[in-house]
């Protein structure tokens, strides 16, 4: 484990629009897990942190889920290639409740449930591959799936997998993958969406009413390319959305942002653009824990970085 | 759900999801030549070992392709493990060489990912990185199998995914060796 300090202060000006932004953010690296020599991580994909600060990661290269101490030591590992209980073909996203860890597999239509010592408990069937997952401390969880051929929706489940609520965020079926989203659901059931293939961030209230919709890049259309008989988007617009414990939204930009896979846009819950900053290295996702530490990827997935977020400026 | 049994559109969607999840980086640098690649080269050049050689020429970019990995693993499992231990080598080719300074560790990152994959799948034969680019031309069309006969005179090449008929033919060859 190597820990370094890399602090930088970012501009108050929006990179895309040049508008004056009210906040400036800086990141200080506080933890680094995985390096070129060790066997900790080969290609991590999903990350979650529990209430005690233990870090859970899925590793796509060795089909595993790994648990690290708050100091970054590997303390547990489970999983191998397969389709049986506790096995994976392509482990992806994960989330922690107070007692359990939920893990998705891109190639099997189940959500696997483990205890916090990574002992297998059960599996919950899902309809289609999952593109985003949110797990609440009480065991409720919400999924966004691939929504092919039907309008997109987010489904909230109780801890045994029974549907509690559905958020239908689009009313019509658009081009292939147009409705794919990353989402964030807060404790008051407000839903925030970052569209993977549209320049669109949205908020819905607990009753499913759209409160606002915003573009960040001023894009009209996403470029598409022909793959066989299909036209698919060439690049992601937004890769991930997270919120901190003050309700600010952090949105990781994709291929259309100034620095692809490194640009993070910060909005307040009303959709006002507060700040933009850049991750030191490109990442496929961001994660913010309950103490406002931000986690992202480095070294093409063999390293996880943890940062403290500092803010400066006046937020209205 | 096995991706081979998926509808085509779902395979496409899964592939795109995989690329999103892994944030595919397609540039890798060539790095120094290790000693064991010269051992393989001498084994190819000499017929003294009196065995058919099976080379898995692995394009590292295919590590970003789920169905390629599945095809590779399925084929490996169709050959008796003893034959693979005795006759097979894997050669990982790092194409798309990028000289950018920020990519200086890409070769070592590729090695590490490969190490995890090999251990997790109990691959029973040695896999080397083609640092010296000797095998790069074999991977021009992606991951392939190259069979070199006992006399070192004939070479057959099969690109992945391997069809059933070819898989049977190769399997027979190694059941008799």
pLDDT per residue as tens digits for the range A46-60: 999 999 999 999 999
Shortest distance between the Cα of B5 and any Cα of chain A, in A, equals 11
Residue B140 pLDDT level (bands cut at 50, 70, 90)? confident
Q: Minimal Cα–Cα distance from B28 to chain A, Å?
A: 11
Mean pLDDT, residues A194-204: 95
d(CA A118, CA A21): 43
Interface ipTM: 0.79
Give A282's contacts in chain B (Cβ within 8 Å): 23
Q: Interior CA angle at A93 toward A91 and A98, to 5°?
A: 115
Contact (Cβ atoms closer than 8 angstroms) between residue B128 and residue B40: yes
Instruction: Using pLDDT thresholds of 50, 70 and 90, give the confidence band for residue B46.
Output: low
CB contacts, 8 Å: B17 with chain A: 92, 106, 129, 131, 146
Cis link prior to A256 (omega < 30° from 0)?
no
Return the CATH number of the domain spanning residue range B24-175: 3.40.30.10
Rounded-to-integer distance, Cα A80 and Cα A102, Å:
16
Chain A interface test: which of B4, B10, B14, B17 (most A C-beta within 10 Å): B17
Nearest to B17 among A43, A131, A302 (CB): A131
Nearest-Cα residue of chain A relative to residue B70: A89
Residue-level pLDDT at B96? 60
Mutate to test the interface with B, among A45, A61, A103 (most CBs of B within 10 A): A61
Q: Which CATH superfamily is domain A8-313 in?
A: TolB, C-terminal domain (2.120.10.30)
Strands A181-185, A263-267: parallel, antiparallel or unpaired by DSSP?
unpaired
Which of the residues A66, A74, A107 would you substitute to probe the B interface, choosing the one with the greatest number of B C-beta atoms within 10 Å? A107
d(CA A173, CA A153): 11
The pLDDT, as a whole number, for residue B66 is 65
Q: Alpha-carbon distance A282 to A287, whole Å?
A: 14
Asked if A59's CB is within 8 angstroms of B18's CB, the reply is no
Question: Cβ distance B1 to B14 under 8 Å?
Answer: no
Contact A213, A202 (CB under 8 A): yes
Where b means 16+ CB within 10 Å and e means fewer, B36-74 reads: ebeebeebbeeeeeebbbbbbbbbbbbbbbbbbbbbbee
Half-sphere exposure of A38 (CA within 13 A, CB side): 13
- How close A314 comes to chain B (CA, Å)? 35
Interface list for chain B against chain A, based on CB atoms closer than 8 Å: 1-3, 8-10, 12-14, 16-18, 20-23, 25, 66, 73, 105-106, 108-109, 112-113, 115-117, 119-121
Nearest to residue A144, comparing CAs of A185, A115, A200, A100?
A185
Query: Averaging pLDDT over each range in A118-132, B43-57, B97-111, B162-176, which range is the top one?
Result: A118-132
For residue A185, give Cα distances in angstroms to A190, A197, A241, B20, B52: 6, 20, 10, 22, 59
Domain ranges in chain B? 24-175
Q: Give A196's contacts in chain B (Cβ within 8 Å).
A: 20
Q: Where are the domains of chain A?
A: 8-313
pLDDT in tens, A240-292: 999 999 999 999 999 999 999 999 999 999 999 999 999 999 999 999 999 99
Sequential DSSP letters for A246-311: TS-EEEEE-TTSSSTTTEEEEE-TT--EEEEEE-SS--S--EE-TT-EEEEEEGGGTEEEEEEEEE
Query: Nearest-CA distance from A62 to chain B in Å?
Result: 5
- A55-98 pLDDT, tens digit per residue, is 999 999 999 999 999 999 999 999 999 999 999 999 999 999 99
- B129-140 in b/e form (b: 16+ CB < 10 A) is bbbeebbbebbe
Does the pTM of the predicted model rise above 0.80?
yes
């Amino acid at each position: 484990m190597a820990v370094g300090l890399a602090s930088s202060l970012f501009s108050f000006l929006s990179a895309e629009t040049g508008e004056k932004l009210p906040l400036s953010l800086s990141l200080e690296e506080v933890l680094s897990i995985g390096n070129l020599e060790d066997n900790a991580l080969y290609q991590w994909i999903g990350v979650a942190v529990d209430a005690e600060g233990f870090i859970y990661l899925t590793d796509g290269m060795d089909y595993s889920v790994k648990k690290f101490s708050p100091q970054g030591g590997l303390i547990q590992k489970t999983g191998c290639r397969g389709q049986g209980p506790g096995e994976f073909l392509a482990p992806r996203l994960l989330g922690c409740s107070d007692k359990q860890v939920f893990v998705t597999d891109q190639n099997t239509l189940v959500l696997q449930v483990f205890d916090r010592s990574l002992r297998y408990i059960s599996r919950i069937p899902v309809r289609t591959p999952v593109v985003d997952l949110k797990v609440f401390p009480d065991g409720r969880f919400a999924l966004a799936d691939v929504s092919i051929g039907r309008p997109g929706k987010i489904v909230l489940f109780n801890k045994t997998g029974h549907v509690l609520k559905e958020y239908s965020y689009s009313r019509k079926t658009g081009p292939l993958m147009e409705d794919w989203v990353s989402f964030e659901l807060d404790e008051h059931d407000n839903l925030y969406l970052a569209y993977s293939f549209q320049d669109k961030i949205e908020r819905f209230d607990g009753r499913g009413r759209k409160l606002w919709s915003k573009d960040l890049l001023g894009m009209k259309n996403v470029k598409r390319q022909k793959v066989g008989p299909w036209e698919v988007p060439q690049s992601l617009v937004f890769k991930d959305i997270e919120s901190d414990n003050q309700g600010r939204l952090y949105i990781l930009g994709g291929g259309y942002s100034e620095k692809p896979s490194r640009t993070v846009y910060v909005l307040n819950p009303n959709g006002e653009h507060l700040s933009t900053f850049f991750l030191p290295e490109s990442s496929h996702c961001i994660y913010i824990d309950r103490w406002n530490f931000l986690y992202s990827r480095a070294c093409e997935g063999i390293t996880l970085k943890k940062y403290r977020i500092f803010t400066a400026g006046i937020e209205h | 759900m096995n991706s081979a049994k998926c509808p085509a559109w779902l395979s496409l969607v899964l592939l795109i999801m995989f690329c999103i999840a892994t944030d595919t980086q397609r540039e890798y640098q060539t790095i120094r030549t290790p000693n064991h690649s010269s051992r393989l080269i001498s084994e190819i050049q000499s017929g003294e070992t009196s065995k058919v050689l099976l080379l898995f020429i692995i394009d590292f970019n295919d590590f970003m392709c789920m169905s390629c990995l599945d095809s590779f693993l399925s084929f490996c499992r169709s050959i008796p493990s003893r034959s693979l231990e005795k006759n097979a080598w894997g050669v990982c080719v790092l194409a798309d060489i990028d000289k950018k300074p920020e990519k200086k560790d890409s070769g070592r990152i590729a090695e590490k990912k490969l190490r995890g994959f090999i251990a997790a799948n109990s691959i029973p034969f040695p896999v080397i990185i083609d640092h010296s680019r000797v095998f790069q031309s074999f991977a021009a069309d992606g991951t392939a199998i190259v069979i070199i006969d006992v006399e070192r005179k004939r070479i057959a090449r099969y690109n992945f995914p391997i069809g059933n008929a070819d898989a049977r033919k190769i399997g027979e060859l190694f059941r008799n060796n």
